[in-house]
Every structure is written in structure tokens, then in C-alpha cells.
């Protein structure tokens, strides 16, 4: 096999980069069989960024793809493909010619859309060469969320020879790759943009809420984490009014089926940091090693890992299994009316190559104020009030660990016994606290989260689940073995 240069390695990875307890307010429901059989309709939008318009959720992503849904379960494709005739930007090859030419690209990467005070929708588009951080980012504006969008101009570039936007020589190990934007308002209605992928890390800029463009004199903005081509990208910010934290979601690894993509989170009381993980580590130290390309072990200990590759293996008589491969590049949404949190991401699947689809999972905040993710896709469920007999029994158990790997974590069978013990593949103790709070101690490590009844699409029935996280930043899941095999 021929040797690959650093540029070739960057080409491979940068190309893939495009493409209640603890205060959560929830309505409770004690009905054990409260979930109606859901009607799922799947779509493909890579790097889905969510925005709600009236009663409809939209996701915008790479390759000028978009989809919409009213219930986060049944999705309709709105657009796909960087080609003239795309309804979002009908003459895209001319409208964004400057961007495509600069990036030496025929496609666009992860877009983000926000509505500003003037009522218009602002699309933050970007393109990158793929084998280097030669990128451009700009804004296109529309009166309607589904377009057509009209280009308002490029405001940031990276990868140029000579002086960069901050007046310094561009160094790809320290300066950002200008892609993967998320534009958001903080709790004081101040506008920000967090962005970046690999290269010099994740950065944040103050934006002008009237124009949508960056405030002048910031260059690339402030670095939050990363450097030396650490495989960290897809930043997304979510503020929780219940904890008063800003949660910065990130994707580690490579997004292809063999890339080990996984979703992580850190938090701060300020949108511009500093951000910390559950161990109290400053995320500014989450970076690669100088002179080493993609040194995953250097930064994999940082951040709370929410989910990665997994498979809930079927046991005898249960039917087919269920799992994800390289889930990542997420957005997130908080519904003030229901108190529900949602994680929206794309994922691949075992045995299906590079095919990908959008998935939505409900999230909860544990007693330590950290997000934990429900094991099954959202099916309209609302967390309830449970009793001990509701949560005892056998579970498919998954430990998502902290490493970046293409290996798939296979579930193991454990049992939560009525006397508060955990037996089977792992041992320890468990407790149900209050209405639905879960605390599990396994091998001396304490995990805090929730029990929640969900729809298991593989088993086609409602099951009890648990999701919990530890102070080491490791998440565990459990999903009841289906009733037919208990």
C-alpha cells in the first residue's frame, strides 16, 4: 500500500467532516402503555441543524439538503444536492460561485439557519476543499424558510496563503477551518456564532443581530478548544434556563462508517467559555499533539461522551437487533412548553455502508445537570412516574466508554433485581429515586440519570429504559429485554 502524505490524510478526514431530575421540567404520565405506535418517515440530511418555524421543525445540512417535520418522527425531504433547481437556492452554482471557486468545491457543507428580528431567515453556508482547510463562509437571506435564499456575501475565509483575517500568517494547526457554523442567541439576546472543524479547533465570534454578520475587529474570534488537527468538529450550542448552563455539543472522530464518530458535550456559564467536562477539565486542553496528525488518544479523555457506535443485540426469541454506526454532527432543541430536550443527528447503520439518516432522541438532565440521551429514537413519549416493579427485570446494557473507535459496542444482558442489586454481565446496585431518577453503581462508578418508558422499534413494543452518566464523562444505557423473552 502506498504511503499517504499529510495532505492525503487531511483530504480523507476533512472530506468526511462535511458531509427529571436536576431541574428539568417535564409533564409526567403514569400510564404504562402511553405511547401510540409511531409512524416514522426517514430522510437523509447530513449534519442536520434544527430550526422551528411556526409548528414545523426544519433541519438544514450539507449538500444543500433540508427536511421538515411537525412531530420529529415523520420527516419530508425539502431539498438535496448543490445543483441549479434546488428550491433553497435555485441558481446556486452562480449565486455562490465565489464560495465554490474559493473552496475549489462543487458542494456545500453543514449549513445553519436562524430567524433574526427582521423576520427574515439567514442561512450560514460554507464550502471547503476537503484536503486542506481552504474554506469560505457566508450568508444567504430569504423571506421564507424554504427559500429562495439570496446571497448576501462571504464574511470569513480560511486556508489562504499569506495573511489571514486576523492579520497573521495562516497556520492550519492553530487557526480554524471555517466550516460548521451554529448561530444562536444567548440568554441576554446577544448573537453568537460557534464554528470549526479539525485544524486549529473550535472558535466563537460575536455577531451583529441586525445584519447577521460578525462584529468587526475579531479576526477568527476566540478559541474554545482544539488544535493540531484534533478530530473535533460540528459544534452546537444549547442554553438551558433550568441549569443556566450553555451546553456545547461536539462530534469526535471521523464521520464515515469506519470513523468512530461520537457525540460529546461540555458546559459553561458563559457562551464564550471556558467550557468544562464532568471531570472539571478545561476543554481548552482538548487538542492534538504538535507534529502528530489525528492523535485521538490525546483528546479522547475530554468531554462527556453521550453516544457512539452501539448495537442492542437480540436475545433468543426477541427478533432483530438495533444500533447506530458513527452517529454525530448533532443539533439540539429545547421546547419551553413541554420541558423536553431533543438531540437531532445523522447516523449510519451496521451493514449499510455510508447510507445515513436523521434521528431524534429525547434528552434529560440528570441530578448533576448533565444531559443524558434516551436509548431509543423519539416516538412521542413523555417521561412518567414509575414504581420499583416497573423498572426491575432484564436489560440490554451498553457502556459507551470514552474512546474514539470504529468498534461497535455490543450490548450485554444485566438484571435489576427487586432487592436493588445488578447482576449479569456487570454487577453493582441500583435505585429509583423520586418519580423517575436513576442511580446505578457499577464497578465502583456512580451513574446518574433517569428511567423512561420508550418505544423499541425493533421489538415493536413499549419498554422501560434507563440512561445515565458518570462524573468520568461516560454514559450507560439500558433497554428492557422485550416481554416475550423475559
Residue written as grid cell 404504562: 32
The CA distance from 186 to 246, in Å, is 9
Please count the CA atoms within 13 angstroms of the CA of 434 that sit on its side-chain side. Answer: 18
The conformation of residue 16, written as its DSSP 8-state character, comes to H
The CA distance from 329 to 47, in Å, is 5
- Bridge-partner residues for 238, per DSSP? 247
Contact, 109 vs 96, CB < 8 A?
Answer: no
Say whether 11 sits in a helix, a strand or coil: helix
Residues in the chain: 486
The residues, ordered by sequence, that sit 6+ positions from 282 with a Cβ below 8 Å of its Cβ are 274, 275, 276
The CA distance from 88 to 82, in Å, is 10
Residue written as grid cell 467559555: 273
Sequential DSSP letters for 88-156: SSTTHHHHTHHHHHHHT-SS----EEEE-TTS-EEEEEEEE-SSS--EEEEEEEESSTT---EEEEEEE
Say whether 303 sits in a helix, a strand or coil: coil
Contact, 9 vs 142, CB < 8 A?
Answer: no
Return contacts of 219-222, CB within 8 angstroms, 24+ apart.
219/164, 219/165, 219/166, 219/167, 219/168, 220/156, 220/158, 220/164, 220/165, 220/166, 220/175, 220/176, 220/178, 221/193, 222/272, 222/273
Residue written as grid cell 488537527: 229
Catalytic pick from 21, 180, 233, 318? 233
Go through 131-151 and write b for each residue having 16 or more CB atoms within 10 A of its CB, e for each that does not. bbbbbbbbbbebeebbbbbeb
Please count the CA atoms within 13 angstroms of the CA of 408 that sit on its side-chain side. Answer: 19
Q: Is 233 a catalytic residue?
A: yes
Other beta carbons less than 10 A from residue 274's beta carbon: 13
Catalytic pick from 21, 47, 112, 357? 47
What amino acid positions are annotated as catalytic residues?
A: 47, 233
Amino acid at each position: 500500500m502506498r504511503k499517504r502524505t499529510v495532505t492525503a490524510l487531511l483530504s480523507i478526514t476533512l472530506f468526511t467532516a462535511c458531509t427529571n431530575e436536576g431541574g428539568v421540567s417535564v409533564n409526567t404520565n403514569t400510564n404504562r402503555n402511553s405511547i401510540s405506535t409511531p409512524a416514522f418517515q426517514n430522510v437523509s440530511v447530513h449534519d442536520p441543524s434544527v430550526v422551528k418555524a411556526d409548528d414545523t421543525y426544519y433541519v438544514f445540512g450539507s449538500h444543500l439538503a433540508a427536511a421538515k417535520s411537525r412531530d420529529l418522527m415523520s420527516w419530508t425531504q425539502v431539498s438535496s444536492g448543490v445543483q441549479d433547481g434546488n428550491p433553497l437556492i435555485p441558481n446556486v452554482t452562480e449565486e455562490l460561485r465565489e464560495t465554490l471557486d474559493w473552496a475549489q468545491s462543487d458542494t456545500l457543507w453543514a449549513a445553519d439557519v436562524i430567524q433574526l428580528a427582521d423576520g427574515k431567515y439567514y442561512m450560514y453556508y460554507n464550502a471547503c476543499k476537503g484536503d486542506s482547510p481552504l474554506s469560505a463562509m457566508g450568508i444567504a437571506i430569504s423571506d421564507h424558510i424554504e427559500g429562495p435564499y439570496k446571497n448576501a456575501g462571504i464574511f470569513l475565509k480560511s486556508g489562504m496563503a499569506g495573511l489571514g483575517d486576523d492579520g497573521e500568517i495562516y497556520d492550519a494547526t492553530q487557526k480554524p477551518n471555517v466550516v460548521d457554523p451554529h448561530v444562536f442567541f444567548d440568554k441576554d439576546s446577544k448573537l453568537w456564532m460557534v464554528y470549526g472543524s479539525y485544524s486549529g479547533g473550535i472558535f466563537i465570534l460575536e455577531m451583529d443581530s441586525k445584519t447577521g454578520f460578525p462584529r468587526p475587529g475579531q479576526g477568527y474570534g476566540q478559541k474554545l478548544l482544539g488544535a493540531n488537527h484534533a478530530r473535533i468538529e460540528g459544534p452546537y450550542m444549547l442554553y438551558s434556563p433550568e441549569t443556566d448552563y450553555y451546553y456545547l455539543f461536539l462530534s469526535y472522530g471521523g464521520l464515515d462508517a469506519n470513523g468512530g464518530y461520537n457525540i460529546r458535550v461540555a458546559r459553561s456559564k458563559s457562551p464564550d467559555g471556558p467550557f468544562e467536562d464532568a471531570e472539571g477539565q478545561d476543554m481548552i486542553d482538548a487538542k492534538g499533539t504538535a507534529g502528530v496528525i489525528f492523535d485521538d488518544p490525546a483528546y479522547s479523555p475530554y468531554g462527556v461522551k453521550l453516544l457512539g457506535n452501539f448495537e442492542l443485540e437480540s436475545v433468543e426469541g426477541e427478533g432483530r437487533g438495533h444500533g447506530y454506526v458513527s452517529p454525530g454532527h448533532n443539533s439540539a432543541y429545547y421546547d419551553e412548553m413541554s420541558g423536553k430536550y431533543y438531540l437531532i443527528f445523522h447516523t449510519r447503520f451496521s451493514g449499510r455502508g455510508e447510507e445515513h439518516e436523521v434521528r431524534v432522541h429525547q434528552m434529560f438532565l440528570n441530578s448533576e445537570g448533565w444531559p443524558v440521551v434516551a436509548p431509543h429514537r423519539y416516538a412521542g413519549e413523555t417521561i412518567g412516574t414509575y414504581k420499583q416493579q416497573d423498572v426491575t427485570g432484564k436489560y440490554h446494557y451498553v457502556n459507551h466508554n470514552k474512546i474514539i473507535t470504529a468498534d461497535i459496542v455490543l450490548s450485554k444482558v444485566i438484571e435489576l433485581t427487586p432487592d436493588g442489586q445488578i447482576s449479569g454481565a456487570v454487577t453493582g446496585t441500583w435505585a429509583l429515586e423520586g418519580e423517575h431518577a436513576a442511580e446505578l453503581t457499577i464497578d465502583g462508578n456512580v451513574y446518574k440519570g433517569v428511567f423512561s418508558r420508550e418505544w423499541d422499534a425493533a421489538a415493536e413494543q413499549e419498554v422501560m429504559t434507563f440512561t445515565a452518566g458518570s462524573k468520568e464523562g461516560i454514559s450507560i444505557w439500558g433497554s428492557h429485554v422485550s416481554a416475550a423473552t423475559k
